[in-house]
Structure 1
């Protein structure tokens, strides 16, 4: 039987070769609104939360809730910034955490103006290594819509195994009358 694991202390800031990953703060609201709203045409297809433009007040509330969840280690969302921390490039983090196993799911999105530079793969590679080596996860997952080829390339490039294709698993983010399939990739130890 597995012993219940107490969630470890997790830093609120990480660095990759080109990026700063930092836990969210309400004062990041303007940067988030700009990045999300500029990327809505692309995000709408894949993200339920990206169906309407964000407002400054809504973003502040969203970031305050994310910061609280991070402090409780219930959801470890990180904002992706340029190395110098001046421009928001997207968001990532560990979701669907289960500290009893321990395991979690890596999610990511990059603002449209910054796609195609390998940032999502850099972030996912870093978070995968950190999860397995430092957090001692036994399982790391990346899930995506089966039609999201760009997102699905990342776990394959990082050596994840395709565990399943869940047929008619969810409704499409941009059309709740259409069903979608979900791909589940994992690395285990």
Structure 2
């Protein structure tokens, strides 16, 4: 299967999901840095966050990969596009199957409002119905109970617990288990 046309933005009832642009660097940089205490236990990239120029370069690369349909990172905004809520999207895309993995993080001021579940639910529907994906995964550290609630609430099946397959994002001396959830069509 070849990668289908993918719109540069999607909307949910409360959110705007939009492909990244280098001009988003200030908002992304600020949201990441304000959320580091909550991100560091789970995200390897949060251990040494990028500076502003590095964030702009990262977003340029993400925009290029989006255009090439290699990775579909989406920034999550308020409906008017003025305030960044977080980031999500499809990673580990394999158009031969076709399959992808949904990842997400929500900026600290916006956690606890159901945004991650709303985004993951919208991307699940979009992935299955529009992109034609046959398998979508959500993976998380087994200790990340908040993240693990999302695929369960969306009807994903727990395929596996991969024991000692990763190290803790904030402590490479600690082994962690990874939960692998999936939905298939």
Unaligned runs of 5+ residues in structure 1 are none
Instruction: State the distance in 2 between where 1:160 and 1:70 align.
Output: 25
What's the CA shift for 1:53?
3.7
TM-score for both structures, normalised by structure 2? 0.99
The superposition leaves residues 115-154 of structure 1 with CA deviations (integer Å, 9 ceiling, x where unpaired) of 0000000000000001111111110100000000000000
Partners of 1:106 and 1:141 within 8 A in 2: yes
Instruction: State the distance in 2 between where 1:6 and 1:46 align.
Output: 33
How many residues were matched structurally? Answer: 185
Unaligned runs of 5+ residues in structure 2 are none
CA RMSD, 1 decimal: 0.6
Partner of 1:164: 160
Does 1:67 find its partner at 2:63?
A: yes
Counterpart selection for 1:29 from 25, 47, 64: 25
TM-score for both structures, normalised by structure 1? 0.97
Instruction: Provide the secondary structure at the position in 2 that maps to 1:155.
Output: helix
What's the CA shift for 1:52?
2.3
Instruction: State the distance in 1 between where 2:125 and 2:49 align.
Output: 34
Instruction: Flag as ranges the 4+ runs of structure 1 deviating above 6 A.
Output: none
Instruction: State the distance in 1 between where 2:108 and 2:3 align.
Output: 34
